[in-house]
Every structure is written in structure tokens, then in C-alpha cells.
Structure 1
Amino acid sequence: MAPAEQVEQSLDKMGISYQIVHHPVATTTEEADHYIEGIAGVRTKTLFLTNKKKTACYLLIMDDHQRLDFHRFQELTGAKRPKMASDELLAAKLGLQPGIVSIFGLLNNADHDVQVYFDRAIMDEARMSFHPNINTSTIFVATWDLLKFLQNLGYDYQILDLDDAED
């Protein structure tokens, strides 16, 4: 089954509404943003991270215009020296390729061993956008439904104040 088809079928089974916009290949969030201009919903980037010893994996969803402060992430999560995970680890854990990291990769995480985090700055948005595990489409899902998706898959999540140095 094609990756986007897997995402759509999973959302359909969960009774989750979504909007898909098909477009040419987009390898960066900036490229994808160009194709979805004018459509309501926060543009996200999903980072797949690991710790120094590669004993834990983290999926972080944040606004695509923000930059991650790795020290702040470490401070909030206790992750030891977090860094971007390797392409090999991304493929092994989420079945995805670089440039196509998405929350929907959790459909491929048989071990349920990826910790999920959201930046608080995007949680009040009505909808979020992601690649549906391919980079020729962008999918919009209501934030509440996205949390339902995680719950249906058996994932917990945490909300981090990535830009609030007063924590």
C-alpha cells in the first residue's frame, strides 16, 4: 500500500476528517508552503531526534518557521545530548526517508518506542499540516483530531514550551 494511502485509510478508520493538497515534490517545508498558500492551518515541521547513545527516539512537532534550541529541548525532556537521528534510524523506526518526516510515520513504529512532543506555540491552532508520508502531498488535520490519532495508536504526548526560558 502506498504511504499516503495508508495514512488516509488509517484516518478514515478513525473517523478523522482531513484535507489533502497534491503538489509537485517538496523537499523542504518552504517548498511545501508555496503549494498550500492561503489554506488555513499551521505549517509544521516534524523533527526526528535521538539521544547521544541512540537509546531513545523523539518526534517533535513545531512551527516550520521556528528553529529548535537543542539545549532547551534537553532541559525540558531530560534527553541526553539530543541530536537529529540518522537516516538509517529514521527508516528503521518510522519507515520514512529524510525530507518526509511526519507524525504519520508512527503508523510504522511497531515497537511504539518513539516519544512524541509538541511545541506549545502551535497547540492553539485549529489545524496542522504534514506530509502524509510522501512529499507530493500535504495533509491538513484538526489539532484535536491529531491528538485523537495519537490516542488511537496508543501514543502519549507532551507539550513543551520551547520558547519560554522561564520554565
Structure 2
Amino acid sequence: PHSKEQAEHTLQTVKNLLKKTEANGRDVYLALLVYRNIPVGTVNLSPAQMLMSRRLKNRLPLSDALLEPQVQDQKQLHHQLKACQDQQKYYLQLRRKPGVVKSVGDAPRFYNITTSDGRQFRRNPRHLRTVAENPASHPNGECEENMNCNTNESETTNTICNQTVGSRRKVNMPERYRD
């Protein structure tokens, strides 16, 4: 559901850039050119370098060698991106703390969480990670009301019926494929 965040953030940045240039009476196209030449992200490449493998000519003096196309090594870029993602994951794991959902919050889609050190937080479910708990870990062996205790005794059926796609949309199998 949040896969478009980076595109929306870029769009918001460009809109703010356009508002500021029009408010100051500057050239909009020159501002967009400068934005395309600024390196972004962890790979230290500008959008123009990623798209055209070269820098764009602007008002700043550049040598002709910098304006020549230089194809980037995709494997090296992939390794840089992977190293950055691993570092972000490491620092995220340092901050992550286990907690227990105590109650549903007063606002929609919010939960009140209590951590092991007694601190209380109010969080949206998308920021929570659920951990499957083994029913055998409970002392009395019974499931609580809000837990789904699924055992390994699952029923297998050979009927091909409606499948649920990621968007919770029902997909009906055509008659000719229901053999």
C-alpha cells in the first residue's frame, strides 16, 4: 500500500520547487535543470546521470570530460545499494523493541502498546510486526480469544474456487479451466 511513497515525495519536492521559483520570479526550467543535476540517494548519482549516463550542461562551468556519457557499472551500484540497505536494517534492529498490544486505541486503526520496560506507545498497525506464537507455549494450552491458533492439521481440498488477490479482489476461474 505504500509503494508509491518515493514517487509522491519526489512529486512534492518538484511542486515546492516550482512554487518557490514562481514566487521569486526565477526561471522554472533552470530550477528543474539544477534539480536534475543534484546527486540523490545512496549511489551519489543525479537523476540525469541515472537516465542518460552523463551530467547536464548548466550555468556552472564544467569540463567537457564530465559532459561525456559514462556508463555506470550496474553490479557496483547494486552492491552499494545493498550495503546501504543492510546498514539501515542493522540500525533499525537496534531500535526495535518487543511489545504487547494492550488495547485498541480510541482512534481508528491505532493500538496501545506496552514494551517490556513498561513504556506505553500508540501505534498504527502498519508499524507493528506480528510474531506468530506457538500455542504450546501457553501454560494451559488454550487459545486466547483474539489469537488464531492454527495447528498443522490443515485440510487440503482439490476444488479450485475463488482466489483472493493481494487487493482482496475475488478472481473467478473460467469454466474451461475447472477440470
- Give the TM bin, normalised by the shorter chain: under 0.3
Higher-Rg structure is 2
Q: TM-score, normalised by structure 1?
A: 0.19
**More helix, by proportion:** 2
**More strand, by proportion:** 1
Larger RCO (alpha carbons 8 Å, 6+ apart) = 1
Q: TM-score, normalised by structure 2?
A: 0.19
